[in-house]
Amino acid sequence: MSDVTLTNISKRFGSVLACDDINLHVDDGQFISMLGPSGCGKSTLLNVIAGLEEMTSGEIKIGERVVNNLGPFERDIAMVFQNYALYPHMTVAENIGFSLRLRKRPAQEVQQRVMDVARMLELNQLLDRLPRELSGGQQQRVAIGRAVIREPSIFLFDEPFSNLDAGLRIRMRGEIKELHQRLGVTSIFVTHDQEEALSISDCIAVMRAGRIEQTDTPEYVYSRPASKYVARFIGSPQMDIFMGEFERQDGKLVYRVGQARFDIPPLTAQPSAPVDIGVRPEHVLIGEIGVAAEVHIVQPIGPFTYVTVKWDGGEATSRVNGISHLKPKEQVHIHLDPTGLHVFDRITEERVELFAR
Partner 1 sequence: MSYTFKRRLSRNFIRFCLAGFVCVCLGPVIWALVTSFLPLSALTSTPLDLNPLNATLDNYIKVFDTSRGLFSGLINSFIISLFTSAIALTLGAMAAYALARLKMPGSTLILMVILATQMFPAIVIAIPLFLAMSRINLIDKHIGLIIVYLSFVLPIVIWILKGFFEGIPQELERAAAVDGASPLQVFRFVILPISLPPLFATGVFAFIESWNEFFFAIILTRIHVKTVPIAIAEFSGQYTTLYGQMLASAVLASLPVVVLAIVFRKFILEGFVEGAVKA
Partner 2 sequence: MIRAWNNENRFHRRRFRLGVFFMLPAVLILLVVLAYPILASLILSLQDIFIASDGIHGRFLGFDNYTRLLGNELFQQALLRSMYFTLVEVVCVVSLGLLVALLLNTPSGRHAFYRVVLLVPWALAPVANAVLWKWIYNANYGVLNMIVVGLGLSEENVVWLGRPWLALNMILVADIWKAVPFIALLLLAGLQNIPTYLYRAARLDGANTWQTFVHVTLPGLKTPLVISSVLQSIWALKVFDLIYVLTKGSPADSTVLLNYLAWRETFSNLNIGYGAAIADVLFLLMFLLALAYIRALRPRRALLNGNNP
State yes or no: residue 92 binds partner 1 (CB under 8 A).
no
Q: Rounded CA gap, 210 and 24, in Å? A: 13
Residue closer to partner 1 (CB basis): 147 or 239: 147
Q: Rounded to the nearest 10 degrees, what angle do helices 166-183 and 136-148 cross at?
A: 20
With contact defined as beta carbons under 8 Å apart, do 298 and 326 qualify? yes
Among 5, 56, 82, 99, contact with partner 2 (rule: CB under 8 A): 56
Q: What minimum distance in Å lies between the beta carbon of 49 and partner 1? A: 12
How many residues at the interface with partner 2, by CB under 8 A? 21
DSSP characters over 27-71: -TT-EEEEE--TTSSHHHHHHHHHTSS--SEEEEEETTEE-TT--
Q: What character string, x for contact with partner 1 (CB under 8 A) and - otherwise, covers 60-79?
A: -----------xxx---xxx
Among 1, 37, 57, 292, contact with partner 2 (rule: CB under 8 A): 57
With contact defined as beta carbons under 8 Å apart, do 76 and 62 qualify? yes
* Binds 130: which of partner 2, partner 1, none (CB < 5-8 Å by kind): none
Distances (CA, A) of 131 to 81, 87, 111, 141, 142: 14, 8, 19, 11, 9
Q: Rounded CA gap, 137 and 144, in Å? A: 11
Q: What character string, x for contact with partner 2 (CB under 8 A) and - otherwise, covers 68-87?
A: xxxxx-x-------------
Q: What are phi and psi of 56, to 5 degrees?
A: -75, -40
Q: What minimum distance in Å lies between the beta carbon of 298 and partner 2? A: 35
Which of the residues 23 through 62 are near partner 1 (CB under 8 A)?
47, 50, 52
Q: Rounded CA gap, 101 and 95, in Å? A: 10
Q: What minimum distance in Å lies between the beta carbon of 30 and partner 2? A: 24
Q: Rounded to the nearest 10 degrees, what angle do helices 136-148 and 107-120 cross at?
A: 130
Residue closer to partner 2 (CB basis): 1 or 16: 16
Q: Rounded CA gap, 69 and 136, in Å? A: 35
What one-letter code names the amino acid at 353? E
Q: What minimum distance in Å lies between the beta carbon of 54 and partner 2? A: 5
Among 23, 37, 54, 178, contact with partner 2 (rule: CB under 8 A): 54
State yes or no: residue 252 binds partner 1 (CB under 8 A).
no
Q: What minimum distance in Å lies between the beta carbon of 59 and partner 1? A: 21
Q: What minimum distance in Å lies between the beta carbon of 99 and partner 2? A: 15
Q: What minimum distance in Å lies between the beta carbon of 210 and partner 2? A: 10
Which of the residues 96 through 125 are near partner 1 (CB under 8 A)?
98-99, 102-103
The 3-state DSSP class for residue 124 equals: helix
Residues that bind partner 2 (CB under 8 A): 7-8, 13, 16, 18, 21, 39, 51-52, 54-59, 68-72, 74
